[in-house]
Structure 1
C-alpha cells in the first residue's frame, strides 16, 4: 500500500480512483428578479481535469456551480454529464442522482455528528458495514482516520476542510464541485492544505470544478481557468494562456497589478509616459488602453530611458513597491522590484520597461 505523509506524522492511503465524468454547460442563462446573472455561458470541464471558475464577486461563478449541483435551475440552456442531459429542455435530474459531489465554502459539517458519521452521511445507500468501511477509507486518504470519533468543533480549520473533502469524495462522484474551499483557512495553512487537496484530486483522477476569486490560487490548482465577469465568460485557457496572452484589459489586470494608460495608435505604435510601444493589429487613430505590469517596470540609478522620482517606497520582504513621478502623467507610476536593489534614500532614478510586460488593447465601453 502506498502512503503519503501529511502534517509530518500522519500517513494516508492512496486515494481510490473515481469514474470521472465530463461536465458541459451549453449556453447557460440565469437571472434573479429580472436581472440576468449568467449570460450565455458555454464551457466544458473535461473528464479528470481541474477547472477553476475565477472572477470577482458577482461574476456568476458560484451560480454556475449551484446550477451544476442542481441547487439552482437555469432559465435556458443545457447541462450535460458525459453528454447526457441532466438539466435542460428534456428534463431535470435531481442533485442526489447526478453523481456530483459538493464541497461548501464553510465545509457544512454536522456539529452533532462525529467525523466518521459526517463522512458516512453521503453513503446511506450502502449497507451499514460497507458505509463505515467506505467512510474510513476516505478518512485514511486525507490522513484523519485517527480522528474518526472526534467532533468537528475539536478540529482545526484545516482538519475540518479535509473531513469535508473526504465526505465529498467518499461516494466517488463523477464530478466534484468546490466553492471557495480554502477561503476560511489561515494563510499559513492555505498553501499546504491546497497542495494536499490537489494531490488527492490527482490520485482519485476526479473531475473537479473549483470556484475562487484568487488568480494565484487558480494558477496553482487548475489545468484550465475560466475567467468570468458580469455573468459572461471572458477567457478560457491554461494559466500560461491567461497570464501571457490576456484577451483584454480586465484579464491582464486580474492576473497581475498593472499601470494603465490611454493612447491613440499612430503609425502602428502608441506613445505612453513609459515610452513608445507597438500596437499590432490596431488601426491608426484607434483609441487604446495600454497595460504595463508593475513587475515589468525596472529601476536603475542611471542608464534607463525615462527619468523618474521616487514618491514612496514600501518594503514587502522579498520585493519593494514604489510609486514614481514620471513626466507625461499626473498619476504615480507603480513598480515592484526586488528588495535592496536600490540604495536607501535614493530619490532620482531612471526607468526601463520589459516589452513582455506591455499589452495594448482596444479601448472598450463599460460592461452594462
Structure 2
C-alpha cells in the first residue's frame, strides 16, 4: 500500500503535474414532484429540486431520509412511483418515459468505490470507454490518471493502493466518460479523518476542472459546506430547505435545519415590548406581539462565561478539554436543563465554577411556536 503524500507535498505538485481535466458537457438535472413508495412506505414525498449546469449540489440529511434513493432514481437504478426526471429539460424518466442507465450520460460513483480487484488501475479507469478503440481508450485513461496524480500506479491493482488513492481512482473512472452529471454517494465515508480534508480538496478541484454537474450525498453538514455550491436539506423524504451554506447556517427555516448545522442549547422565551425574554435575560429583538411564545436556539459558541458583561449567574458542573476548546456544562437558575458552552481553551480557569453567563446575539436563532408546539 502506498503512503499518502503530505498536504504540503501535494500542494506543491498541483499545477506542475496535474493535467487539466477534460471538460464535460455539464447538464441540468431536475427532479419534478418525485414520489417513491415501497409497499405502504413512502420514501420520497413529492421532492422538486434541480441541479444547475456545472453546479455541485449536496443532498444532506440523516440516514433514511431518501438521499441515496434520489441518486438511484437519477442513475436509472430505481424508477420513481410518480413525478418526472429531466436532463437538460428532456424527460428521461416519467409516466411514459424511461431512458436506461447506460444511455443517460449520468455517472455514478459508489460509496465503496467498486473497483474491480482483478483489473489493473489502468483497466479499471478505461472500463467505461469500450466505445473507443484500444489506443484511444488507453490515452484517455492515462490522462484521467494524470489528473489525479496517479499515472505511475497504472499497472498496480486496487489492493496495492491506500484508501485515499482508491477514492481518486474511482473518481477518475467516473469522470473519464465525461458524464453530463456525476452522482456521488457518500464518497468520503470510507476514509479516516486524517485523509478526508486532503481528498475532499482534491475532489473539489477535479470537479471544478472538469466543469461537471455533480450531486453529492452526505450526512455530514461540514462536508456539505466545504463542497457544495448549494445544499438541499432533506428529512423523511421531504425537502426542508435549499440554499447556500451561508443561507442554511444563518437563516434556517426551522429547528431541525438549525440543529443540523450547529450544536444548540434550546430555551423557551416570550416576547415582551419587542424583545425575546428568557431565563438568560433579553436575547433578541422580535416583531411578534407581546405575549407570543417562542423557541430560542443558542449555538454553543455563543454562550459566554465569565466575561465582563451583564448576564446571569451560573455554575460549571462539568467540563471537557477538546484541544483548542473547552466544552463546559453550566447550570443556570430558572432553567430545568443545564446549558453547554464551547470556548477557547483556558479562558475559564480550571478551578473556577461560578461564572457569569451572557449571550452573543449573532448566535441566537428565534423560532415562533406553532399551535402544534404548544
Deviations 1:170-195 (A, max 9, x none): 00000000000001001001000000
CA distance in 1, matches of 2:223, 2:106: 23
Q: Is the 1:302–1:349 contact (alpha carbons within 8 Å) kept by the matching residues of 2?
A: no
CA–CA distance in 2 between the matches of 1:5 and 1:47? 33
Change in CA separation of 1:85 and 1:275 when aligned onto 2, cut-off 3 Å? same
| SS in structure 2 at match of 1:107 | coil
Identify the residue that residue 6 of structure 1 maps to in structure 2: 10
Residue among 118, 126, 134 paired with 2:132:
126
TM-score (norm 2): 0.93
How far apart are 1:316 and its partner, in Å? Answer: 0.7
Residue in 2 that maps onto 1:61: 67
Secondary structure at the aligned position of 1:176 is classed as: strand
2:78 equivalent in structure 1:
72
Tell me what 2:4 maps to.
none
The 1:259/1:363 distance shift into structure 2, 3 A limit, reads same
Distance 2:372 2:76 in 1: 32
Number of residue-to-residue matches in the alignment:
364
The equivalent residue for 2:190 is 184
Hey, what does 1:261 align to over in structure 2? 267
Structure 2 unmatched runs, 5+: 1-7
Give secondary structure in 1 for the equivalent of 2:269: strand
In structure 1, the partner of 2:3 is: none
Separation in 1 of the partners of 2:196 and 2:337?
36
Q: Deviations over 1:74-109 (max 9, x none)?
A: 111111110011111230001111101110100011
Is the partner of 1:13 in helix, strand or coil? Answer: coil
Post-superposition offset of 1:362 = 2.8
Secondary structure in 1 matching 2:79: coil
The whole-number CA distance in structure 2 between the counterparts of 1:64 and 1:268 is: 43
Matched residue of 2:91: which SS?
Answer: strand
Distance in 2 of aligned mates of 1:291 and 1:140: 48
Q: Are 1:298 and 1:352, in contact at CA under 8 Å, matched by a contact in 2?
A: yes
Confirm whether residue 321 of structure 1 aligns to residue 327 of structure 2.
yes
- CA distance in structure 1 between the partners assigned to 2:200 and 2:292 by the alignment: 44
C-alpha distance in 1 between matches for 2:9 and 2:99:
39
Which of 171, 195, 203 is the matching residue for 2:201? 195
Deviation at 1:265, TM superposition (A): 3.7
SS of corresponding position for 2:18: strand
Are residue 41 (structure 1) and residue 43 (structure 2) matched? no
Query: Are positions 1:144 and 2:159 aligned together?
Result: no
Question: Residues 366 and 317 (structure 1 numbering): CA distance in 2 closer, same or farther, change over 3 Å?
Answer: farther
CA apart distance, 1:38: 0.7
Distance 2:211 2:33 in 1: 27
2:116 paired with 1:110 = yes
Please, which of 251, 276, 285 is the counterpart of residue 270 of structure 1?
276
Say whether the 8 Å CA contact 2:274–2:288 is kept in structure 1. yes
CA 1:185–1:53 in structure 2 vs 1: closer, same or farther (change >3 Å)? same
- Secondary structure (helix, strand or coil) at the match of 2:183 reads strand
Counterpart CA distance in 1 for 2:307 and 2:244 is 38
| 1:227 corresponds to 2:204 | no
Q: Counterpart of 1:233 in 2: which secondary structure?
A: strand
Alignment check: 8 A CA contact 2:270 2:278 kept: no
CA distance in 1, matches of 2:301, 2:295: 18
Q: Do residues 356 (structure 1) and 344 (structure 2) align?
A: no
In structure 1, distance between residues paired with 2:291 and 2:95: 48
Q: Does 1:90 align with 2:96?
A: yes
Query: Residues of 1 paired with 2:11 and 2:118: CA distance?
Result: 26
Which deviates more, 185-194 or 267-276? 267-276
| Aligned match of 1:247 | 253
- Per-residue deviation, 1:266: 4.2
> TM-score, normalized by length of structure 1?
0.94
Deviation at 1:360, TM superposition (A): 1.2
- 8 Å Cα contact 2:27/2:181 also seen in 1: yes
Q: Distance in 2 between matches of 1:315 and 1:239?
A: 29
Displacement after TM superposition at 1:155 (Å)? 0.6
Q: Say whether the 8 Å CA contact 2:276–2:286 is kept in structure 1.
A: no
Cα distance in 1, alignment partners of residues 101 and 288 from structure 2 = 48
SS for the counterpart of 1:111 is coil
CA shift in 2, pair 1:241/1:301, >3 Å: closer
